[in-house]
Amino acid sequence: MPRVLTALLLLAACASQKQEAPAADRAEQSRAYFLQASRVFLHPRCANCHPDGETPLQGMDGKAHDPPVVRGKDDHGVVGMRCGGCHQDHNLALARVPGAPEWHVAPREMAWVGKTPRQICEQIKDPLRNGGRTLAQIVDHNAHDKLVAWGWSPGHGREPAPGTQEQLGKIVAAWVETGAECPAEGARP
Amino acid sequence: MIRLSVNGTMRELDVDPEMPLLWALRDVLGLTGTKYGCGQALCGACTVHLDGEVVRSCVTPVARAAGKSVTTIEGLYDHPLQRAWCDMAVPQCGFCQSGQIMTAAALLAQNPKPRDQDIDQSLAGNLCRCGTYLHIRAAVKRAAGMPEE
């Protein structure tokens, strides 16, 4: 974890530098930024609610959500098993039920489980698969969304996502500023 | 002071806003038809409606119900589900049944003719240690005026 955090901090610091680099270097930097961000995207605190199926996952080993819920038509569950029926807008310390505003699973087209960093990158840039967001909105979503923020405050001894939301926001912003390039298919963080 | 409607009657509760709604219903208002099972939203015994939506009252802070309408099993009165439950002798020990009926009532309100899959998905969070699931599904269908199998 400290190694990951150090890398994120270093990259976040780089993101604040405004020196122009040659195009090839900028593209390489951009791919590196995305790989760093993918550490967060593929962490179970984030990926568990970006499932490639009907059911969200839970735990570090990605077990199916228990009780058995399904996403339903609006990704908030079905009648009787709506996400908000159990999950509040905050973590519950005693009951250990995680919670944040607008608790729900990401739409099917935003599935991350089983995807490579490149596949996620292409997906995130595609308005048909990112909720119609611009790149600027993608940056804002990662940096400020309250449900995304839960990844770093998961409660009850759950391992948080790497780094901080602020650092992720800076890394994603740097990725966009350097051209929003996607890493090679085989590249891993 | 938290004001909310419970089964159509306005109530004022001088309680900790973080108190689980279940405690307020059972211990403050004396509505003991709603049961305490797991305390972690895992069993469904505590199911009530909040503005018509199913919530697990054991994990719902009472503050969330402020200004809203809560319906408990006592508020269903002579619901077709309750009649079907009695006619078909669905309960065995009975502990989970108020939660089962509350979830089923929400389902029928939105989906008057549910398929087996709809019933199973909606009631998946209501556990029955006596294993009355087949009876429950049949009773939901009877209440919906559908063939039971």
3-state secondary structure A54-103: CCCEECCCCEECCCCCCCCCCCCEECCEEHHHCCCCCCCCCCCCCCCCCC
Give the model's confidence band at A19: pLDDT under 50 very low, under 70 low, under 90 confident, else very high: low
Rg (CA), chain B: 15
At B9, is the secondary structure helix, strand, or coil? strand
pLDDT (tens digit, 9 = 90+) per residue, A45-89?
Answer: 999 999 999 999 999 999 999 999 999 999 999 999 999 999 999
Does residue A67 have a cis bond before it (omega within 30 degrees)? Answer: yes
Give the model's confidence band at A22: pLDDT under 50 very low, under 70 low, under 90 confident, else very high: confident
Distance from CA of A67 to the nearest CA of B (A): 6
> Can you give the pLDDT at residue A3?
52
B103 and A84 in contact by Cβ < 8 A? no
B9-13 and B2-6 beta bridge pairing: antiparallel
- Counted across chains A and B, CB pairs separated by less than 8 A come out at 65
Same fold, B2-75 and B80-143: no
What residue spans define the domains of chain B? 2-75, 80-143
B42 and A67 in contact by Cβ < 8 A? yes
Give the model's confidence band at A5: pLDDT under 50 very low, under 70 low, under 90 confident, else very high: very low
Least CB-CB distance to B125: which of A81, A88, A92? A81
Name chain B contacts of A84, Cβ cutoff 8 Å: 53, 55
Q: Is the pLDDT of residue A23 over 90?
A: no
- CB contact residues (below 8 A), chain B span 21-40, against chain A: 39-40
* CB A56 within 8 Å of CB A34: no
The pTM of the whole model exceeds 0.80: yes
> Can you give the pLDDT at residue B148?
79
Q: Is the pLDDT of residue A2 over 50?
A: no
A86 and chain B: CB distance < 8 Å anywhere? yes
A95 and B107 in contact by Cβ < 8 A? no
Give the lowest-confidence range in A10-19, A111-120, A172-181.
A10-19
> Considering chain A, what percentage of its residues have pLDDT values greater than 90?
87
Residues of chain B falling short of pLDDT 70: none
Over chain A, what is the mean pLDDT? 92
Question: To probe the interface with B, which of A86, A94, A97 has the most B CB atoms within 10 Å?
Answer: A86
Average pLDDT over residues A81-106: 97
Q: The domain B80-143: what is its CATH number?
A: 1.10.150.120
Assess if CATH 3.10.20.30 describes domain B2-75.
Answer: yes
> Can you give the pLDDT at residue A20?
67
Q: Is the pLDDT of residue A17 over 80?
A: no
Query: What ipTM was reported for this prediction?
Result: 0.96
Residue-wise DSSP of B71-94: E-GGGS-S-HHHHHHHHTT--SS-
Q: Is the pLDDT of residue A13 over 80?
A: no
